[in-house]
Each structure stands twice: as C-alpha cells, then as structure tokens.
C-alpha cells in the first residue's frame, strides 16, 4: 500500500513540475526504497507510508538544501533536521524538496533562484510564499502533507492563496535544529495539509522539546487528534473589527465575515477585541527580521560550504564576490536593511525601538486573550496576485504579511483554513490565532468549521 501511494505522489510530482515548479528535487529512488522497507517491515508508526514534501530550507540528509538560493545550490546537508528525524521514525516517506523564496524571504515565491512556483488554481498567479512549493504540492494533490517554515506568515499565507490548511505553532513548539535560520526569534517549522486531522497528526509527531534547540520549550505534546470533537459551543472568538478596513479585498472581507456567522451558528460567542498596535507590526517585523537575517546569513561566505566566487584572490574580496553573486536581490536588500538598523548610531532608533513595540504587540494579544479563546482575521489581504505584479515594489510586497506577522512577533500559534473562492476562483482563507500552547484549541476550532463547511473545490491543475 505505501509503495503504491508513494509512487503515485512521485509520478504526480514529476508530471506537474514543469507546470507548477513546486519541487526542486524529487527523490524517486530513495522514496520508493523507503516505501518498500516500510511495507515490508509492517511499520506501525502514526505516519507509516505517508508521502511528504519538505521545504528546501529544512535539512534532509542526502537530499539537497538550496534554500531557494544559488549560494547553496549544490549543498547537501550531512544531517537531518530534528523534525525530519521524527517524521522518519514515524514512518513518513519524504519524496522531495520543495521550492521556496530564497532563504524564506518573500511572500510570493518569486524570489527563488530557481523560478517562481505557479499557483495550481491559476498558473499566471503566485502561490504565495515563502513556502510556495509545499503549499502547491498539497493543493495540487501531489502529497497529503508538507512541511514549510513560517517567519512572518510563510506557511499561513501560501496556504491561504492555494486553498489548503497551514499552521504555525507557538514559538518553541517545534525544533529549529536543521531549519536554516532566517530570523531566529521568529522562525518555526509549520505544517500544510488538506484536512485538519492530518495537520494534527503531523504536528503531534514533530512537536516537542529538543535538546539540540535551546529555544524549544519543555511543554508536553498532547494528542492533537483527541481535540477534534467538533464542539465549539461556548467558545469565545475574538473579532478585531478595526483590522477589517482599508486594504482588505471586499470578497476576502465578506468571506471571512461568513466564517464568523458559521462559528456563531455552531454556538460560539463572538467578542469584540482590539489590537491597537497591530498597524505597526510590519514596521517592527522588517526591522527585527532583517536584523536577525543579516546576522544569520553572515555564515554564507564561501569558506566551508556552498558557492564560492572565482577570480577572487584575496579573502575579503572572496567574501564580497561570493555573496554578491550567490544571493538574489531581495536577500541582499534585507541583509542591508538589517545591517543598517543594527549599525552604530542607528541601533537605538530602529532596532531597540522595534523590540519595544514588539512588547506592545505581545501585550495586545495577552490582553485580548483574557476575553476570548481565539482571534479571527483574514490570512491574506487579497487572493493570489499575478506573477510579476508586485516585484518592482518591495514595500507593496511586504504589506501582504499584514495579518500574519503579528503571530511571529508575539510567538503565538496561528492556522489558516480555506473558506471559499473569489469570483475569479482563487482561494480565500481565514486565520485563527490563539494563546501560547493553544494548538489543540485552534485545531479544534478549525476542524469544527471544516466539518460543516468542508472545502471540496479542487484546482484546475491537480494530480489524478
């Protein structure tokens, strides 16, 4: 059974890759061998035989980890990320590595050195990013589950644009060991699936304390599937009306408002909440994330691994040329921004100020969660936009993250769930945000919605 399932996925991945460009590497041989082993041994793990796709910034030993960048274009990590070890122990079969924005920097997957990922709902449009390949692989029915990473929305936003479920847990829930670091205080590995139960199962396998990642928390991992009772009577859902104003597409607005009605009908209480500093979140994010990135990406210098520029006979010249040739424009922009805000004379004005506003944003959520169990927002201000539409205006591109960055800044979990199609048949998603360690509740609420409003639409480009 697993060999057949895995082979189906591999065939679909290969067949659709020219159209979608979701995969950077497909491991036919390794995956089929592993599937055979699992079948033969009667492996009883919770994910036995399930084909999974993994974003190319998460290390899988023996496969590539390009991070969507030329600077790691031929890099093969000598170790597995902790989340990969856990998936493999549970019997999952990794069929390949997925395309992503370079070093996870982007909201459209147009920043990949290996071409954009195309949205299976309309291939002239973006998949969203940065985990565009993983979102697309699930949306097109190639794999039932995929891993991505979420620093400012990079799992939730492409999930929304591709019509699948995407979840980012609490900071410290999943190990970042083996996830190539972008912004260490914001990054988390996240999960894509078409069904909430699958997200719950995979999260239960990968979550938990890891001695190799000192930022993981010693908090027990519950059986997330046990929370999926369908009962949300009496649950309090917070509605931040002020965030449903300017810049939000009308169709997205009315779609998410309909979701609120569904929760009301299911017996939930809708509570008004305010997040007064949410409007500053993008500014805070693009100071903190870029500052951390400028530090994390300093290691890519041509010395120990990855690309090294030729014609650079002197060491520092080699650093400069390697990085100039190896990094794409968005990565360079962010490294420079990060270096600028950390530099002498500017540190207090920008970086320290941003850290203070981050505290204000965190406190907004703590206060809001005193009166509700989860907060509902749209995930993305618009459905998928056209490839090339926003590439000339970095700031316009950054504003796609307006609903998602707050969760990373505050460290809270968030899940995006598909709730409809626009008049152009493009997916719309809603987002639920919860207090620290409330993944079980968020999954419960998402599942309850899914039971009464299952998202049965399928994109024109689909595996079959």
Partner 1 sequence: MPVTQSDIEKVAQLAHLELGEEELKTFGPQIAEIVAYVEQLNELDTTNVEPAIGGLTPEGERTETTRPDEIFGSLGQKIALAEAPDPAEGHFRVPKVL
CA-based angle 334:339:343, to the nearest 5?
A: 155
Q: Using the rule CB under 8 A, give the single segment among 33-41, 49-57, 134-142, 305-313 that binds partner 1.
A: 305-313
Least distance CB 282 / partner 1 (angstroms): 8
| Crossing angle of the two packed helices 281-296 and 353-368, in degrees rounded to 10 | 120
Q: Residue 369 has which token pair?
A: 């969660």
Least distance CB 229 / partner 1 (angstroms): 25
**Burial class of residue 5 (count of CB atoms within 10 Å of its CB; 0-12, 13-18, 19+):** middle
Does 246 interact with partner 1 (rule: CB under 8 A)?
no
Q: CA-to-CA distance for 274 and 271, rounded, in angstroms?
A: 10
**Burial class of residue 233 (count of CB atoms within 10 Å of its CB; 0-12, 13-18, 19+):** exposed
List the one residue from 221, 260, 262, 312 that touches partner 1 (CB under 8 A): 312
Q: Which residues contact 33 (CB under 8 A, 6 or more apart)?
A: none
Least distance CB 343 / partner 1 (angstroms): 7
For partner 1, the closer of residues 169 and 420 by Cβ is 169
For partner 1, the closer of residues 93 and 412 by Cβ is 412
For partner 1, the closer of residues 171 and 455 by Cβ is 171
Binding mask 324-363 for partner 1 (x = CB under 8 A): x--x-x--xx-xxx-xxx-x--x--xx-xxxxxxxxx-x-
Q: Residue 141 has which token pair?
A: 């029915």
Q: Which of residues 146-175 bind partner 1 (CB under 8 A)?
A: 170-172
Q: CA-to-CA distance for 55 and 23, rounded, in angstroms?
A: 9
Q: Which of residues 362-381 bind partner 1 (CB under 8 A)?
A: 362
Residue 163 CA to its chain's centroid (Å)? 14
Binding mask 257-296 for partner 1 (x = CB under 8 A): --------------------x--x-xxx-xx------x--
List the one residue from 217, 242, 386, 452 that touches partner 1 (CB under 8 A): 217
Q: Using an 8 Å Cβ cutoff, are 414 and 442 in contact? A: yes
Q: Which of residues 27-46 bind partner 1 (CB under 8 A)?
A: none
For partner 1, the closer of residues 114 and 171 by Cβ is 171
Q: Is 5 helix (H, G, I), strand (E, B) or coil?
A: helix
List the one residue from 242, 303, 386, 452 that touches partner 1 (CB under 8 A): 303
Beta bridge partners of 96: 26, 53
Q: CA-to-CA distance for 206 and 92, rounded, in angstroms?
A: 11
Q: CA-to-CA distance for 83 and 307, rounded, in angstroms?
A: 26
Least distance CB 335 / partner 1 (angstroms): 5
Beta bridge partners of 191: 147, 167
Best CA proximity match to 274, nearest among 367, 160, 153, 374: 367
Residue in the block written with tokens 């809708």: 270
Least distance CB 119 / partner 1 (angstroms): 26
Q: Which of residues 74-93 bind partner 1 (CB under 8 A)?
A: 75-76, 78-79
Task: Kindly determine how many residues on this chain lie close enough to bind partner 1 according to the rule CB under 8 A.
Answer: 79
Does 208 interact with partner 1 (rule: CB under 8 A)?
no
Give the residue numbers marked as catalytic.
55, 130, 154
Least distance CB 133 / partner 1 (angstroms): 23
Binding mask 173-192 for partner 1 (x = CB under 8 A): -----------xxx------
What is the phi-psi region of residue 417: left when phi exceeds 0, alpha when psi lies from -120 to 50, beta otherwise? beta
Q: CA-to-CA distance for 195 and 427, rounded, in angstroms?
A: 15
Least distance CB 337 / partner 1 (angstroms): 6
Does 308 interact with partner 1 (rule: CB under 8 A)?
yes
Binding mask 375-414 for partner 1 (x = CB under 8 A): -------------------xx--x---------xx-x---
Least distance CB 342 / partner 1 (angstroms): 9
Does 318 interact with partner 1 (rule: CB under 8 A)?
yes
Q: CA-to-CA distance for 59 and 442, rounded, in angstroms?
A: 28
């Amino acid at each position: 059974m697993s060999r057949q399932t895995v082979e189906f996925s591999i065939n679909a991945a290969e067949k659709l890759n020219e159209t979608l460009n979701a995969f950077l590497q497909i491991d036919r041989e390794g995956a089929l061998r592993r599937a055979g082993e699992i079948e033969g041994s009667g492996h009883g793990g919770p994910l036995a035989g399930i084909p999974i796709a993994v974003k190319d910034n998460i290390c899988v030993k023996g496969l590539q980890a390009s991070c969507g960048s030329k600077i790691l274009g031929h890099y093969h990590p000598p170790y597995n990320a902790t989340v990969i070890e856990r998936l493999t122990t549970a019997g999952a079969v990794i069929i390949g590595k997925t395309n992503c924005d370079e070093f996870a920097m982007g909201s459209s997957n147009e920043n990949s050195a290996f071409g954009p990922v195309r949205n299976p709902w309309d291939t002239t449009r973006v998949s969203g990013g940065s985990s565009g390949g993983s979102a697309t692989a699930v949306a097109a029915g190639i794999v039932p589950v995929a891993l991505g990473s979420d620093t400012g929305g990079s799992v939730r936003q492409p999930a929304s644009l591709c019509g699948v479920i995407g979840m980012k847990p609490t900071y410290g829930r999943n190990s970042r060991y083996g996830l190539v670091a972008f912004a260490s205080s914001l990054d988390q590995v996240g999960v894509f699936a078409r069904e909430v139960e699958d997200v719950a199962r995979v999260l239960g396998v990968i979550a938990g304390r890891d001695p190799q990642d000192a930022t993981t928390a010693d908090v027990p991992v519950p059986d997330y599937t046990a929370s999926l009772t369908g009962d949300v009577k009496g649950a309090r859902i917070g509605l931040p009306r002020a965030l449903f104003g300017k810049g939000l597409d009308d169709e997205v607005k009315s779609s998410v408002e309909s979701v609120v009605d569904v929760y009301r009908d299911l017996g939930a209480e809708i509570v008004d909440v305010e997040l007064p500093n949410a409007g500053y979140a993008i500014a805070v994010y693009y100071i903190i994330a870029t500052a951390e990135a400028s530090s994390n990406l300093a290691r890519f210098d041509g010395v120990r691994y990855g690309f090294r520029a030729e014609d650079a006979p002197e060491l520092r010249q080699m650093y400069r040329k390697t990085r100039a040739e190896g990094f794409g424009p968005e990565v360079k922009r962010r490294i420079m921004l990060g270096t600028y805000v950390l530099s002498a004379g500017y540190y207090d004005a920008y970086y320290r100020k941003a850290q203070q506003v981050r505290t204000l944003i965190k406190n907004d959520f703590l206060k809001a969660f005193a009166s509700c169990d989860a907060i509902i927002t749209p995930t993305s201000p618009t459905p998928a936009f056209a490839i090339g539409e926003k590439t000339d205006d970095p700031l316009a591109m950054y504003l796609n993250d307006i609903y998602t960055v707050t969760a990373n800044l505050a460290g809270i979990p968030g899940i995006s769930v598909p709730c409809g199609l626009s008049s152009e048949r493009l997916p719309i998603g809603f987002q639920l945000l919860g207090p620290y360690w409330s993944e079980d509740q968020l999954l419960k609420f998402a599942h309850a919605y899914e039971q009464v409003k299952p998202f049965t639409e399928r994109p024109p480009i689909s595996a079959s």
